[in-house]
Structure 1
């Protein structure tokens, strides 16, 4: 029997059929990569970049998977110049002049990811009213109340350190004697989630009151519920989405089977929807009362035909607000405070401006945005920190729907173009030889110079798909940063402490330990 089987197998091996069968998939893969490179993508071959990137998107996916996309692409621009090919049909353009073209000439289900232009216009008409200046002013009491909750937690931590000044020094050294040590990223995550929870779903998530614990209720499609950490879910969702989007379309459905990391990311995508589903269902069941928040505006909004949003669409938009208004704000808050505190000269100068404006009496709560928006050095510090951190560093790639000229180069229809914020925020020809330094004074040289810098600052994106909630984000950041620096002293736990950042969809600090101490006078909140 064995001789009967072995004979035909030997004949097949000798015939060369097996090597041909094994080689066929490899040959097809090579053709899949090489044919477009020399045909439909041939016009992009003139742009320099990593060799692998010209043939496959796996190079870009690897950078995203490692959490360093913006930094890596920035180094490629430093090496090759303005235009860098980062994919078979994708080019990165390091020039602010490209913003107006790329973000208007592009082809892009909540407002953020709706690709159909007519549908996007319909959604934006409803949502834009929600974030008009008049509507945003109605949000201030909710934001103020949530910030006051964080101040109470900070006050309690400071009081504990005052009563036992050696507690922190025993763990962090004599430098921290009398200071309360806090992982401020946890605090800013809790603050941002509670604010957007209050605005988008009718009540905070309660993270501040739970000492920054981020566990929330999640509703599955079948109606069952469970609890999981919201910040981790949001982080995993961003990392997963950013990486998956860089992979070739044919392989995406299989990645959850190839790498468990993708399976966890997909679960987080579904769980994030479950968070929004829980909150929207509860709000619709209990009613809005007399609240004037984001969800009530969305419920009352009408499109051009007078039609409101249905429950699934309402949930999708509330989810969009949760994604857009949580870790963007927490990441930015953490980075802004790090840059201010890590530069003692700037920190002192900011506190002098705040003290001279509000007097020795300080403040007993959170000031209205109208009272703080005109403070020049506060604004300069925030703008400069947002520039250096670049929360959305990748520049949100866009597909060109027609042949498009950008910065003197014509790109064929179907080309994916991106203008990396992280890189244009560091262009020395715009920002000067000290572009890598935190220098708020660059925003105060003259009105003309400030207008020039603003053209190269891409914090809230550009054009019809720019951040619709920038008015809310601005109000939050200005009021919050002012209140913290007027009320407390801050100190880095280590003098030469660095801000470690990992990038998924957004660039997010890993942690930021700081010492805090109350300034005089002290007010209750």
Structure 2
């Protein structure tokens, strides 16, 4: 009889253990049990938040949870979302590490600076290139100045000038992705090896189609990487096979530019400033120095120094992908907002015409000069327009997760154990009503002086909550470059043209990590602004 009872007792104990481990402990005894749950199932399962992400509703769903429950909410058994300045300071300025979620940003099978899980290898890579992305270097770079002149006056402005002859308008999302790609690849590889997407529309369309289409299939590889890999080994593909082919083609395109730039830099000195491969040269020099001075003792020995060619190429594809997409999205929404307000366009143009020289463009004219980068950066209305666009239409509004350290930490008053995924999203931070009254309104006055009804204290508070480039040691390394190239493009366009909406269907922003218009287009009509008019 006892022998017959043993299986029943074992099953009972197994059931009790399961109830304790998966229900009682996470709901009542876990250190996370005191944190409000975004969904009733959050303490027990990841299925709810995974479903929200799969359906591309994370940003607004999590934001609604914060509005109802406060600055810290529980999304899953071991996942939190935070939405306060104190929490940001703890997590992002406190050195919390990244995790497996970022491995999708590896290229060629090796990590780049952005996808590196840990801060030490990240810092070692960052030291190689952070200087050339500093504000002072970006604004004083002769190479960037010459590259900017060529891109604006030989490519962008002539293309826009020819578009003013008809009422049909042009897709500015495509044009803005093109101009930002041309900018960033020139700064990476030098002008001779950069893209020319502005003038080569066929290549641009093919490249952007590849990039955009494979972006729609990131969920399984990012949120369930081991699950996806296991079933892929069994011949079950949750991610279409053509996604791998698209990624391979994009990697080949970048690797070819990397190889040509390497060969050029190792054989001769750069004579034309436009051909200066500013970023790649700094990275190549940094990798060489790390290899010579530290070798096997380097924190990069098993990654960057073991696969130097692929590691440098991985870094380049990350910079050009992130650099063209985020700036292109920002320019699109900025132009969309301006196209709804002719009076604001006139005010902006009046401010731009105070520059000396101006960005005035005349087709066929041989000589055009760029104004001082510092003078451009000091224009208050231009800066306010850009800041408000980055706030309301952040190109990366989604969650940026980190992992809590061992053995535990305190976040916004809660004691959190190690190994918990915790993150913030610009989407929610930028809609804080205390920092941004009427947060859904695009209001450039927020970033101007007290004459617009905002005090200096209010402006400081807004700047504390502004998070378009993240924060801490792992914030966007290219933020100064992004701000500079966007201001150059906006100044060049609105000095010479006015814009009007032709078709903005689908302009509402996607929901996810990096987010552009749902319709993947914006059609604007350009009209030549008369010289001296405002």
The answer for the alignment partner of 1:254 in structure 2 is: 231
Distance 1:266 1:521, change over 3 A: same
Q: Does the CA contact (< 8 Å) of 2:178 and 2:204 recur in 1?
A: yes
Partner of 2:212: 235
Residue 499 of structure 2 is aligned to residue 490 of structure 1: yes
Cα displacement string for residues 226-265 of structure 1 (whole angstroms, at most 9, x for unaligned residues) = xxx3223333454444553223744454269555545444
CA contact (8 A) 1:95 1:424 kept: yes
Question: In 2, Cα distance between the equivalents of 1:107 and 1:36?
Answer: 27
The alpha carbon displacement at 1:99 in A equals: 1.2
Cα distance change on mapping 1:249 and 1:45 into 2, 3 Å: farther
Query: Taking structure 2 as the reference length, what is the TM-score of the superposition?
Result: 0.78
**Pair 1:235–1:361, CA change in 2 (3 A):** closer
Structure 2 match to 1:472: 481
Whether the 8 Å contact between 1:395 and 1:421 is mirrored in structure 2 is yes
Paired residues for 1:32-431 under 5 Å: 35-36=21-22, 38-39=24-25, 42-46=30-34, 47-103=36-92, 104-108=94-98, 109-136=111-138, 137-138=140-141, 139-148=144-153, 149-158=155-164, 160-161=165-166, 168=167, 181-202=169-190, 203-211=193-201, 213-214=203-204, 229-241=206-218, 243-247=220-224, 249-254=226-231, 258=236, 261-287=239-265, 289-290=269-270, 291-292=275-276, 293-301=278-286, 302-303=289-290, 306=293, 310-357=308-355, 362=360, 364=368, 366-402=370-406, 403-431=408-436
Tell me the alpha carbon deviations over residues 266-300 of structure 1, each in whole angstroms, 9 at most, x when there is no partner.
44443332222121122223447413321122222
SS in 2 for 1:511: coil
Greater mean alpha carbon deviation, residues 230-239 or residues 507-516: 230-239
Cα shift readout 1:72-91 (whole Å, capped 9, x = no counterpart): 22223233332222222111
Q: What TM-score comes out, normalization by structure 1 length?
A: 0.79
Please give the per-residue CA displacement for 1:149-190, whole angstroms capped at 9, x wherever unaligned. Answer: 1111111111x32xxxxxx3xxxxxxxxxxx50111010111
- Provide the alpha-carbon RMSD of the alignment: 3.1
Q: Deviations over 1:438-487 (max 9, x none)?
A: 11111123544332211100011111101111121111011111221111
CA separation in 1, counterparts of 2:343 and 2:382? 14
> How far apart in 2 are the matches of 1:123 and 1:91?
29
- The CA distance in 2 between the partners of 1:240 and 1:322, in whole Å, is 20
2:20 & 2:259 partners in 1: Cα distance? 51
Counterparts in 2 of 1:283 and 1:382: CA distance versus 1, 3 Å:
same
Q: Distance in 2 between matches of 1:275 and 1:33?
A: 53
Cα distance in 2 for residues equivalent to 1:235 and 1:439: 30
Change (3 A) 1:306 1:129: farther
Secondary structure of the residue aligned to 1:328 is helix
Does residue 449 (structure 1) correspond to residue 458 (structure 2)? The answer is: yes
Looking at structure 2, the residues matched to 395 and 67 of structure 1 have their Cα atoms a distance apart, in angstroms, of: 12
Which residue pairs with 1:171 in the alignment? none
CA–CA distance in structure 2, aligned partners of residues 234 and 87 of structure 1? 31
Name the structure 1 match of 2:507. Answer: 499
8 A Cα contact 1:366 1:480, kept in partner:
no
Q: How many residue pairs align between the two structures?
A: 463
Shift of 1:38: 4.1
For residues 333 and 415 of structure 1, the distance between their equivalents in structure 2, rounded to whole angstroms, comes to 36
CA distance in 1, matches of 2:350, 2:467: 29
Q: What is the alpha-carbon distance in structure 1 between the residues aligned to residue 195 and residue 88 of structure 2?
A: 37
Structure 2 counterpart SS, 1:317: helix
Inter-partner Cα distance in structure 2 for 1:212 and 1:55? 50
